[in-house]
Amino acid sequence: MADVVSNVTDRGVPVSTPSAPRRRPRRRWPWAALAQQAAAIALVAAAFAYLGTNITRNLAANGMTGGFGFLWQEAGFAMSFSLIEMSESSTYGRVFLAGVLNTLFIAGLSLVTATVLGLVVGFARVSAARPLTLAATVYVEALRNVPMLLILIFVQTVALRSLPVVREAIAIGDAVYLSNRGIYFPWPEPGQDLRLALGALVAGCLGLVAAWVLRPRTPVLVRRDLAATIAGITVGVILLVVAVLNVDWQRPVFRGFDFRGGAKMMPEFAALLLALTLYNAAFIAEIVRAGLQSVDHGQIEAARALGLRDGFIQRRIVLPQALRLMVPPLTNQYVHLIKASSLATVVGFPDLVAVFLGTSLNQTGRAIEIVVMTAAVYLTLCLGLGALSAAWNTRVSLKGR
Amino acid sequence: MRLNRTKIALLAAGSALLLPAAAVAGPTLDAIKGRAELNCGVSTGTSIGKSTLDDQGNWTGFEADFCRAVAAAILGDGAKVNFVPLEFKNAFTSLQSGSVDMLARSATWTMSRDTEFALEWAGIYIYDGQGFLVSKASGITSAKELAGASICVTSGTTTELNLADYFRTNRMDYTPITVSSPDQSIANLESARCDAYTNEVGGLASYRLGLSDPDSYTILADVISKEPLGPVVREDDQQFEDVVEWTRHALIIAEEFGVTQANVAEMAATTEKPELRRFLGAEGEFGTKLGIPNDWAVKTIQTTGNYGELFERTLGSNSKANIARGVNTLWSQGGLLYAPPVR
């Protein structure tokens, strides 16, 4: 670096000296870069043109028709679970939408649960308590080194099928029932006036948010700093209880073949959620541990020497530095989780792959259209996640130097 | 960085486009003769009586034997079959892409499949209908009592659509438990995850045997659909379709004339009945005109026996499934089996 002539202005901004002749870059012909890009685009376009004609020719040779018209046709089959209103007369387009939403639902939910569990296990891995560390190590090593499919099948066949049959469901307080046909729990009675309850719910959440905003931020904790937080939590919790009490809950009641009323979680969904959570949490725990251990222990000791409390040290000194290291591999893990949610088809949960790439493809025979649409959904999800992570990475990366 | 990611995305999408584009080379019949082997798509080997993979690694069952019959007609040897086990959801795509020559795996002939899939049903070899398998302990005696029930069904099948139609017509609600293989459905039924398993009655009878206690389960009398099952081929080779179709006819004609696995060779040599002489290749060029050896029918019957022998051995009274022939008897006995004359 000795030959690079640079200077520092009085404002502390490094600038290069314009007069240095050796610093002037060799002038490149502007069209060289353009030609490169044009060649790249032409190559991609040629590849697409080749694929396009190949498909058209082969389809024609087989006498098959293409097109997306089938999306407006009636699908004629039912789905065991969907977030939007579905019936046998819904179109394939709606089946696609329901499938995408189901995939987002299972992937989103297990992303949250896996992260929470992963954080807990990750912190346990580096904790000072030996039994805790040991338990976390056993968990990580046992789950990380087994195929996820195995965990999924184990959870479904051993854990959930061994629950009692629906007629002999385990009752918890006459409100929640466990059986191998599903987990049943109370749900707000439809058609009631929920304005008061919703108001209390919103106010209660606001109370909790206030508690978060008013949380003590001092490096050294003093009891009176907690007063506002405790008040916020108390008011929030009371309002939430009021919200719950203000709702007429519909309890599941066994009638005929199944429980009626209330809400039900399919065992297939539970199995997938559990398997995705358990498996991915083991990897996330390792990412968390790596992040935490990457922070020089000297910093923690120095902070303790200053009398800072442990929570503050973790939150303001360790985590910000650890996160910078954790986010890229964490994104990888999330992408894996989203794609692995397609194992739904193994247990029989109607996700995008099961209802669209499976049933719809077989009923319509539109292999190319359906494969492309399904791939596009996963590409969008995973590339979107990648872009978010890259943006975050740019924001928090070390600047200057 | 950004450009790179876009390129990767484009390439990934491109390879997705490439997949189903594998071209089909030449007419199917020539390809089969060239490799001296028939690639036949069957079920995954657990359909007792239709296509079963036994513990010796041998394929048995009605549909496996139908593949052998076709191989015998074309190549003169029923052993020259490469059985390709396919899950139902992959079956049609495998046939379209050319990785198998034909399917013999309980595929129902419907109008939309016939017209939109660019596939042909080369006749019907089993006339079946959709029913329900329930546990006796449930006390269900009729399909009409299934309102509100959870029902196991295989994804992407006609039975999934018929089920929806039936419950819609009768204004009953239900929960479909849709999985990709019948084995999973059977496991679900056994653990009472679902109240009933629906499939073709023939399939139900054979899958019932896979239950740990078959006697505590029963098939309801209600049949809610027509399920004509037959061999499926691509539309690109009319001659091959004819061969498969006439293999089916040959099994029926043989039963009509009392030609059996045991007496076919003798009959071919000694018979004086003109139609039988034409059928067994003693007279005329009927096989040659199909593009296969003239003694095709002899080889076929030697391999599998006539329709009656084949059915009774694999699905009927001489088998574990023990299904009654029902409408799968000759037209002359009040059944639906009918074949055009060899003339």
Report whether B245 contacts B233 (CB < 8 A). Answer: no
Shortest distance, CA A367 to any CA of chain B (angstroms)? 7
* Paired strand residues for B53: B59
| Interchain CB contacts (distance < 8 Å): A and B | 156
What is the band of A219 on the pLDDT scale with cuts at 50, 70, 90?
low
- pLDDT at site A28: 62
Shortest distance, CA B111 to any CA of chain A (angstroms)? 12
Q: Does B156 sit within 8 Å of A161, measured CB to CB? A: no
Question: Regarding predicted confidence, which is higher, B18 or B215?
Answer: B215
Q: What is the pTM of this model?
A: 0.76
* Paired strand residues for B81: B38
Structure tokens at B152: 């196991």
Q: Does A354 sit within 8 Å of B13, measured CB to CB? A: no
What is the band of B44 on the pLDDT scale with cuts at 50, 70, 90?
confident
Q: Does B18 sit within 8 Å of A267, measured CB to CB? A: no
Q: Does B176 sit within 8 Å of A77, measured CB to CB? A: yes
Model confidence at A294: pLDDT above 60: yes
Angstrom CA distances, B246 to A101, A364, B51, B68, B73, stand at 49, 29, 21, 14, 9
DSSP one-letter code for A222: -
- pLDDT at site A7: 45
Shortest distance, CA A55 to any CA of chain B (angstroms)? 6
pLDDT over 90, % of chain A: 39
Domains of chain B (ranges, CATH numbers): 28-127+228-333 (3.40.190.10), 130-225 (3.40.190.10)
Q: Does B17 sit within 8 Å of A368, measured CB to CB? A: yes
- pLDDT at site A82: 87
Q: Does B180 sit within 8 Å of A367, measured CB to CB? A: no
User: A348 to chain B: nearest residue by CA?
Assistant: B179
Shortest distance, CA A158 to any CA of chain B (angstroms)? 11
Shortest distance, CA B128 to any CA of chain A (angstroms)? 20
CB < 8 Å to A272, chain B: none
Q: Across the interface, which of A62, A255, A257 has its CB nearest the CB of B96?
A: A62
What is the band of A307 on the pLDDT scale with cuts at 50, 70, 90?
confident
Residues B286-320, buried b or exposed e (16+ Cβ, 10 A)?
A: bbeebbbbbbbbbbbbbbbbbbbbbbbbbbbeebe
- pLDDT at site A24: 59
User: A347 to chain B: nearest residue by CA?
Assistant: B179
Q: Does A359 sit within 8 Å of B156, measured CB to CB? A: yes
Model confidence at A365: pLDDT above 90: no
CA distance B256 to B275: 12
CB < 8 Å to A367, chain B: 20, 93, 96
What digits encode the pLDDT tens for the residues B139-191? 899 999 999 899 999 888 889 999 999 999 999 989 999 988 888 899 899 98
When mean pLDDT is compared across A115-124, A222-231, B52-61, B265-274, the lowest value belongs to: A222-231
Mean residue pLDDT across chain A = 85
What is the band of B2 on the pLDDT scale with cuts at 50, 70, 90?
very low
What is the band of B14 on the pLDDT scale with cuts at 50, 70, 90?
very low
Q: What is the ipTM of this complex?
A: 0.72
Hey, which CATH number is domain A92-148+268-396, 3.40.50.620, 3.90.79.10, 1.25.40.10, 1.10.3720.10?
A: 1.10.3720.10
Q: Where are the domains of chain A?
A: 92-148+268-396, 193-246
List phi, psi (to 5°) of B102.
-155, 165
- pLDDT at site A221: 61
What is the band of A6 on the pLDDT scale with cuts at 50, 70, 90?
very low
Selected for mutation to probe chain A from B93, B152, B172, B191 (highest A CB count within 10 Å) is B191
Q: Does B17 sit within 8 Å of A361, measured CB to CB? A: no
